[in-house]
Amino acid sequence: MTGLPPAAGPREIYRIDWLPGTDVLHGTCHCGREHTAQDPVEMWEWMLAHPQGHATGEPRGNGS
Amino acid sequence: MPHMTAFARNQWYVAAYSHEVGRELLGRTILGETLVLYRTEEEGTPVVLHDRCVHRRYPLSEAPTRLDGDRIVCGYHGFTYDTTGTCVYVPGQKRVPRTARVASYPVVEQDSLIWVWIGDPALADPQSIPRAGHLDSPGWVTVRGMEPIDCDYGLLVDNLLDLSHETYLHGGYIGTPEVAETPITTEVDEGAGIVRVSRHMDDAECPPFYARSTGIEGRITRWQDIEYHAPCLYLLHSRIAPVGVLPEADGSDPNGFHTEITYAITPSGDGKVYDFWAVSRDWATEDAEVTEFLRGNNHTVVMQDVTALNLLQKTLGSERTGYQELSINIDTGGLAARRILARLVEQGEKPVEKVQ
């Protein structure tokens, strides 16, 4: 009933879950890499730095 | 230092509700552009023109400017414009200067909303307008209103993307302790420019807004699923049910109460925004008492936001040396929205036109 028609091309989805019972944010980039942080500003910085710091084999960040 | 979010041009914005536009001239300002809205006599098609007569800049939305059929006659010297904004009559002479025209704006009427394209008309694609079908679908009842707020539109986006403020600002209406306490998930669909923020409360107090309208006694399962189609349309899909009552395995949900809360966030000028709000339900649709209760209660809630945001804008404007904010987990969605808006602003920017 609502929303836009499906966008053409691959969808770029960023997702951030605030893990219940904790202060931890768990982020998943559209490339599939994951990251945890306790600060949304830092989380978005990591997310939007893609592809920097998102390649396989690079150490996963753990913000704080 | 007034708080100011740049405007995103080349976008569709809600200028009015359908019922507001008729044979009376209606003035609205969007992204600083003054507009006059009316409907044609026979077809009832909405028309949106620049709200300044080309002659001496008289506002065409103001009396004694009037409609003559589908033409608009300036109330100052009689310059007359057709629905395309072309001047077809000037007083006292036969020759109408070729430059005598006011801008006309692409307009789409959909879902009981009048959408206007602000930007390059050649880029206007009606297919890109997000839908809010519940606003005028059979089986749904909607209460609605519009409040102008003297604040930067970014403050209203912040407000709506972080519903934890319900607990404090709207306690006793829609806020309960669980809203602020429950973690959220945030999802950004980059290509579509959509931010989704979800907060699912498994066992929450039922706020008066829902307790008195649905008749549910006791605690509830309460879901809030936000879908923000930047820059203008905000949808909050609300589901409440007695605690533990979930949708059926086949996806049907006969025991849940679904309410669609819609906002159109339309920047008017610097530090000014139109707050279009609507509450739609597909339950108790015949109950006029519920309708009036929701109308009054939600209007009160909106006015609590209006008061708070007017104050916040003034407060930010009185900061002499700038200020810093502090963001925490509840702000994850709001930060995402700000970033999407910044991208849309950048995309909509174009070289400054020379003023003749």
pLDDT tens digits for B293-303? 999 999 999 99
- Residues of chain A with C-beta less than 8 angstroms from the C-beta of B134: 1-2
Model confidence over B208-263: pLDDT tens digits? 999 999 999 999 999 999 999 999 999 999 999 999 999 999 999 999 999 999 99
Is A21 a domain residue?
Answer: yes
Residue B56 shares a structural domain with residue B123: yes
CB B304 within 8 A of CB B170: yes
* % residues pLDDT > 70 (chain B): 98
Q: Does residue A59 surpass a pLDDT of 80?
A: no
Q: Per-residue b/e over B2-21, b at no fewer than 16 CB within 10 Å?
A: ebebbbbbbbbbbbbbbeeb
pLDDT of residue B226: 98
* Region of residue B307 (left: phi > 0; alpha: psi -120 to 50; beta: else): alpha
Model confidence over B70-81: pLDDT tens digits? 999 999 999 999
pLDDT band at A1 (very low <50, low <70, confident <90, very high): very low
Q: Look up the domain containing A31 and give its range.
A: 15-48
pLDDT of residue A37: 96
pLDDT of residue B354: 44
A63 touches chain B (CB under 8 A): no
pLDDT of residue B116: 98
CB B117 within 8 A of CB B109: no
Residue B66 shares a structural domain with residue B160: no
Residue B99 shares a structural domain with residue B229: no
Partner-chain residue, chosen from B191, B194, B327, that has the shortest CB–CB distance to A40: B327
Angle between helices B332-348 and B153-161 (to 10 degrees): 140
DSSP A47: H
Is A40 a domain residue?
Answer: yes
Residue B204 shares a structural domain with residue B305: yes
A42 touches chain B (CB under 8 A): no
Q: In the numeric block, which tokens belong to residue B97?
A: 């200067």
**Distance between A18 CA and the closest CA of chain B, angstroms:** 6
Q: Does residue B123 surpass a pLDDT of 80?
A: yes
pLDDT of residue B321: 82
- Residues of chain A with C-beta less than 8 angstroms from the C-beta of B128: 4
Q: For residues B14 and B114, what is the distance between their CA atoms, to the nearest angstrom?
A: 6
Q: In the numeric block, which tokens belong to residue B157?
A: 């986006």
> How many folded domains does chain A comprise?
1
Give contacts of B 23-82 with A, CB under 8 A.
Answer: none
Residue B87 shares a structural domain with residue B195: no
pLDDT of residue B159: 98
pLDDT of residue B72: 98
Q: Does residue A28 surpass a pLDDT of 70?
A: yes
Is A41 a domain residue?
Answer: yes
Residue B289 shares a structural domain with residue B149: yes
What's the mean pLDDT when you consider all of chain B? 96
Residue B107 shares a structural domain with residue B166: no
Residue B143 shares a structural domain with residue B188: yes
Residue B50 shares a structural domain with residue B167: no
- Mean pLDDT confidence for B85-94: 96
Q: Of B128, B161, B191, which residue sits at a domain end?
A: B128
CB contact under 8 A, A17 and B185: yes
Is A56 a domain residue?
Answer: no
Residue B236 shares a structural domain with residue B340: yes
Is A37 a domain residue?
Answer: yes
Is A53 a domain residue?
Answer: no
Is B118 a domain residue?
Answer: yes
pLDDT band at B323 (very low <50, low <70, confident <90, very high): confident
CB contact under 8 A, B134 and A5: no
Is A4 a domain residue?
Answer: no
Instruction: Classify the C-alpha dihedral A25-A28-A34-A39 as positive or negative.
Output: negative
Q: In the numeric block, which tokens belong to residue B215?
A: 């008749």
Q: Does residue A10 surpass a pLDDT of 80?
A: no
Is A8 a domain residue?
Answer: no
> How many folded domains does chain B comprise?
2
B16 touches chain A (CB under 8 A): no
| Mutation site for A-interface testing, chosen from B188, B262, B331, B346 by largest number of A Cβ within 10 Å | B188
Strand order in the sheet with B71-73: B66-68, B71-73, B80-81, B87-89
CB contact under 8 A, A4 and B183: no
| Mutation site for A-interface testing, chosen from B142, B181, B189 by largest number of A Cβ within 10 Å | B189
A6-20, B84-98, B278-292: least confident range: A6-20
Model confidence over B126-169: pLDDT tens digits? 999 999 999 999 999 999 999 999 999 999 999 999 999 999 99
Q: Does residue B356 surpass a pLDDT of 70?
A: no
- Mean pLDDT confidence for A7-34: 89
pLDDT of residue A2: 46
pLDDT of residue A6: 46
Closest by CA to B8, choosing from B341, B271, B334, is: B341
Is B356 a domain residue?
Answer: no
**Domain CATH code at residue B124:** 2.102.10.10
Q: Does residue B291 surpass a pLDDT of 90?
A: yes
Residue B117 shares a structural domain with residue B180: no
| Mutation site for A-interface testing, chosen from B186, B227, B263, B328 by largest number of A Cβ within 10 Å | B186
Q: Of B78, B105, B128, which residue sits at a domain end?
A: B128
Is B6 a domain residue?
Answer: no
Q: Does residue B3 surpass a pLDDT of 70?
A: yes
Residue B215 shares a structural domain with residue B113: no
Q: Look up the domain containing B239 and give its range.
A: 137-347
Q: Of B102, B128, B154, which residue sits at a domain end?
A: B128
Is B201 a domain residue?
Answer: yes
- Residues of chain B with C-beta less than 8 angstroms from the C-beta of A38: 329
